[in-house]
Every structure is written in structure tokens, then in C-alpha cells.
Amino acid sequence: MPLLIVLTLALLFVAWLLAEPFLVELRRKRLRSRPFPTAWRRILKRRVPYFRRLPADLQIQLKKHIQVFVAEKAFIGCRGLVVTDEMRVTIAAQACLLILNRPTHYYPKLRQILVYPGAFLVDKVHTDSAGVLHDERQALSGESWTQGQVILSWDDTLDGAAGVDDGRNVVIHEFAHQLDQETGSANGAPVLAGRHHYAHWSRVLGDEFARLQERSRLQQPSLFGDYAATNPAEFFAVASEVFFEQPQRMSAEHPALYRELGRYYRVDPMSW
């Protein structure tokens, strides 16, 4: 009798595993079919000016993604901040910009978004040129963790959303890291459409990153800034910000990189 119970429970567990993806997609389909709340539409118009630039079909797609994202991800206020729908929708709109026109599981490793009123302090270990480790405290506007969390400053989130052409957007930056981290630790190589795409991706982004590092070493200005030269993961995240916010300049100065990111994100911001 106990063996029969164990076998029954095992079969039920296997059946649940097989049915879960179907049930998840069914729930998401229902969320996407709901009317977009009028109050949320007002938030988009007030806080996310790039929304008005999008073609009508992408506006509709983005609103559906927002509904799923807000329903599935937990938003937690920190340092006394009370999370509102304005915060949820503003953050979700920018995060979901990165998954337009693509099959998506809505950042499957992400469980929660921690929102601070402003910049937050983080203790980090820094290695100097001599290889000596130093503890230092940094004020950050955002961070992406592999443990299923994104941390954002609300002040910086608003600034990033309002400035649609300055090449700086903390939400795009951190959620590009989340895409990168779907393969494990961030390394500048997110999940691509097929295995054969990686060689070209590596060549294009590797060449661009090497040139950026050289410009940084020579203290020459660049479209991406010195922080993007830190490592390939930061380069991918910064390049994603610039791709969405300064597409004309990126296309003119870094055409191969723009084409590669366009193939990955499956959008052409120059046409918006």
C-alpha cells in the first residue's frame, strides 16, 4: 500500500511538471486579454514618454507584456518607500521594452524588484592594480542579481524614463543584465536565437569592446563611456541603453554593433 501511494504521488508530480508550462501560458493569455487599465495608460503617458514613439502594434504588445509582468513579479519598497502602481507600471514598461517581438518567459529567474527612494549603498570588494583587495562602499542607482532580484533607485528610474535620448536608462541597463544572466553569471552573451549565432555575436561585440577599452586607456571620449569598458557584461548593458535611446548615433558610429543588437532585440528604434 505505501508503495502504491508513493507511485501515485510520483505520477501526480510528473503530471504537474508536464502541465505547468501550459497552465502558465494559459494564465498569461488571460492576463494579456484583459483591458489595459485607464489609470495605467495615464501613467505611461506621464512617466514613459518613449511609449508615444512606438508604432501602434508595439504599443499594444508592450501593454500586454506590462499586464503579465506586474501580475507575476513582486515589487518591494525599501527604506520606507511605499510601492504604487505608478512605480510598477513605469518600471515594467521599460523592462518589457527589451522583450518586444521575441518569444519570452518574462525574465524567468526574476522573482522580485526592490525599489529604493534614491541611490542605495552597497559594500563591494575592489581589486587594485597591484592585486590587493579593498572593501569600499558605493552609491548605486541599480543592480541585477542572479538570485532573482533587481534593485532600483526610484529617482534614477524616473530620470532614465524621462530622458529618452541621453543614452542612460537604469531599468534597461539592469534588465539587460537579467537577460544576460539567464545563462548563469553575466558575461555579455545572452541567450541567442540559435547556437550558430554566437560566433558572430562574439566577434562583433568582442571587437567593439576591445576598441572601447583602448579608447578608455587613452582617455578618449566614446559613445558608451568608460564604465562600459569594465567588462563584457557591462558593455552589453550599456550598449543596450544606447541602442534604445541613441539609435541614430549608434548606427552611424557603430553600424555592425547596431545591426547585431537589432537582430537580438528584433526591433529598430531608428524607425520610432
Which CATH number covers residue 205? Answer: 3.40.390.10
Question: What is the pLDDT confidence band of residue 16, given thresholds at 50, 70 and 90?
Answer: very low
Identify any residues that bridge with 75 across adjacent strands, giving them in sequence order: 113
Same domain as 159, residue 194 = no
Same domain as 217, residue 103 = no
Tell me which of 142 and 12 has the higher pLDDT: 142
**Residues ≥6 apart with Cβ < 8 Å to 132:** none
Contact by Cβ (8 Å): 92, 70: yes
Q: How far apart are CA 143 and CA 163, in angstroms?
A: 20
Distances (CA, A) of 146 to 93, 107, 111, 181, 182: 21, 11, 10, 6, 8
User: In the prediction, which pLDDT does 139 show?
Assistant: 85
HSE (side-chain half, CA atoms, 13 Å) at 155: 7
Question: Where is average pLDDT lowest: 11-20, 100-109, 249-258?
Answer: 11-20
Give the global pTM: 0.89
245: domain range? 187-272
Question: What is the pLDDT confidence band of residue 1, given thresholds at 50, 70 and 90?
Answer: low
Q: How far apart are CA 64 and CA 211, in angstroms?
A: 39
Is 182 part of a structural domain of the chain?
no
Same domain as 141, residue 92 = yes
Same domain as 158, residue 43 = yes
Tell me the residue type at 29. Answer: K
Is 37 part of a structural domain of the chain?
yes
User: In the prediction, which pLDDT does 122 show?
Assistant: 81
pLDDT (tens digit per residue) in 177-234: 999 999 888 999 999 999 999 999 999 999 999 999 999 999 999 999 999 999 999 9
Same domain as 257, residue 196 = yes
User: In the prediction, which pLDDT does 12 show?
Assistant: 47
